[in-house]
């Protein structure tokens, strides 16, 4: 009798009701553990995003004034505001800005961060073919850029021209910029390197190649090198802005588009979404041309 009672704790000896009760308890505990783990991951992502914004100072930033009257149809990257044309004059407003801050965002669960790629800096043979004038700047380009190198984030990516497509909203037609897959996109209506105007580059940050995955890690002073064939055009980051987009009124979203409008000065503007876990903000990097390192007796 004692032996039969001792076996009472085995699974097969339990009644159907007892088996279901035990299985349900186990599933509940497993679900609680998984739910708790999900909360921890979500909290870490939230903290990473809040840390980046907390590190940002608030300043009055003035989007560049357009070099010519704003077009009837606004052209901007997919996902940007389609409300109204970009302003033709400067608009001063407060924006969240991150300066000299490197914050690695935690990838969402189930995603794979962009692999680090080796930066293929120009060879001596290529440098010999590059042309620079007495001031250290190359001549204006007559062709679109085809390659972007940003040593600070180990980015070496192809650049391809991108256009736009037409959408209708509330009876009005707008143009929305396409975003290249697995490459950086050069806006076809933007300036060419070395020419007065705004060289606008856009790219995905969390899908389809994640080419601008680590653009947020750039600091003021970091260099970007844009190539047209063998000719290199050097830029240094001057402004880094994170602009709230989701949930903002049309006038704020409209002002965000001013950063990719034509300009009278020569500049490079790189844009993508932020943060990695969603697309509530726009990341804008503005860089200005600098002399070629070769003209300064420096190397890459």
Is pLDDT above 60 for 55? no
Q: What Cα–Cα distance (Å) separates residue 292 from each residue in 43, 133, 151, 193?
A: 44, 10, 15, 13
Is pLDDT above 90 for 20? no
> Can you tell me the mean pLDDT for 258-268?
95
pLDDT tens digit sequence for 272-285: 999 999 899 999 99
Q: What is the rounded distance in angstroms from the CA atom of residue 257 to the CA atom of residue 262?
A: 11
Q: What Cα–Cα distance (Å) separates residue 64 from each residue in 171, 222, 262?
A: 29, 21, 8
Under DSSP, is residue 35 helix (H, G, I), strand (E, B) or coil? helix
Q: What is the rounded distance in angstroms from the CA atom of residue 271 to the CA atom of residue 206?
A: 13
pLDDT at 122: 46
Sign of CA dihedral 159, 164, 169, 173: positive
pLDDT tens digit sequence for 2-15: 444 444 457 677 77
Tell me the pairing of strands 281-289 and 266-274.
antiparallel
Sign of CA dihedral 253, 259, 261, 264: positive
pLDDT at 106: 39
Confidence of residue 21 (pLDDT cuts 50, 70, 90): confident
Kindly report the pTM of this predicted structure: 0.64
> Can you tell me the mean pLDDT for 77-90?
36
Is pLDDT above 70 for 100? no
CB 226 within 8 A of CB 232: yes
CB 52 within 8 A of CB 244: no
Whole-number mean pLDDT of the chain? 74
Percent of the chain with pLDDT over 90: 42
Confidence of residue 43 (pLDDT cuts 50, 70, 90): low
Q: Which helix (H) or strand (E) holds 4?
A: helix 2-6
Is pLDDT above 80 for 73? no
pLDDT at 1: 44
CB 181 within 8 A of CB 204: yes
Q: Which residue has the tokens 């052209």?
A: 75
Question: Which of 49-63, 67-81, 130-144, 245-259 has the largest mean confidence?
Answer: 245-259
Dump the DSSP string for 98-146. Answer: --S---PPPPPTT--PPPP----PPPHHHHHH----TTS-PPPPSS---
Q: What Cα–Cα distance (Å) separates residue 133 from each residue in 118, 186, 290, 291?
A: 30, 25, 13, 10
- In angstroms, the first-to-last Cα distance of the chain is 86
pLDDT at 87: 32
Confidence of residue 231 (pLDDT cuts 50, 70, 90): very high
Sign of CA dihedral 206, 210, 214, 218: negative
Is pLDDT above 60 for 155? yes
Is pLDDT above 70 for 150? yes
pLDDT tens digit sequence for 166-178: 877 677 666 778 8
pLDDT at 77: 45
Backbone angles phi, psi at 198, to 5 degrees: -105, 110
Is pLDDT above 80 for 28? yes
Q: Can you list the positions of beta strands (E) in 34-138?
A: 57-61, 75-77, 93-97
pLDDT at 61: 53
Q: What is the CATH number of domain 60-296?
A: 2.40.260.10
More confident of the two residues 225 and 130: 225
């Amino acid at each position: 009798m004692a032996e039969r009672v001792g076996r009472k704790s085995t699974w097969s000896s339990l009644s159907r009701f007892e088996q279901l009760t035990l299985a349900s308890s186990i599933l509940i505990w497993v679900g609680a553990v998984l739910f708790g783990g999900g909360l921890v991951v979500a909290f870490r992502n939230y903290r990473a995003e809040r840390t980046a914004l907390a590190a940002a100072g608030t300043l009055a930033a003035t989007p560049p004034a357009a070099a010519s009257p704003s077009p009837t149809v606004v052209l901007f990257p997919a996902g940007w505001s389609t409300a109204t044309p970009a302003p033709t004059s400067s608009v001063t407003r407060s924006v969240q800005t991150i300066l000299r801050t490197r914050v690695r965002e935690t990838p969402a669960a189930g995603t794979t961060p962009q692999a680090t790629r080796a930066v293929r800096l120009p060879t001596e043979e290529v440098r010999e073919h590059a042309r620079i004038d007495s001031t250290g700047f190359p001549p204006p380009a007559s062709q679109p850029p085809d390659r972007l190198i940003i040593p600070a984030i180990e980015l070496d990516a192809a650049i391809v021209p991108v256009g736009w497509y037409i959408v209708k909203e509330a009876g009005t037609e707008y143009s929305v910029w396409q975003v290249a897959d697995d490459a950086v996109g050069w806006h076809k209506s933007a300036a060419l390197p070395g020419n007065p105007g705004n060289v606008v580059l856009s790219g995905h940050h969390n899908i389809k190649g994640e080419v601008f995955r680590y653009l947020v890690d750039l600091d003021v002073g970091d260099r970007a090198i844009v190539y047209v064939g063998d000719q290199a055009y050097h830029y240094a980051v001057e402004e880094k802005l994170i602009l709230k987009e989701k949930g903002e009124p049309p006038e704020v979203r409209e002002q965000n588009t001013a950063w990719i409008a034509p300009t009278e000065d020569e500049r490079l503007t790189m844009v993508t979404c932020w943060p990695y876990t969603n697309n509530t903000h726009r990341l804008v990097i503005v860089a200005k041309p600098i002399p070629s390192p070769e003209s300064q007796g420096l190397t890459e």
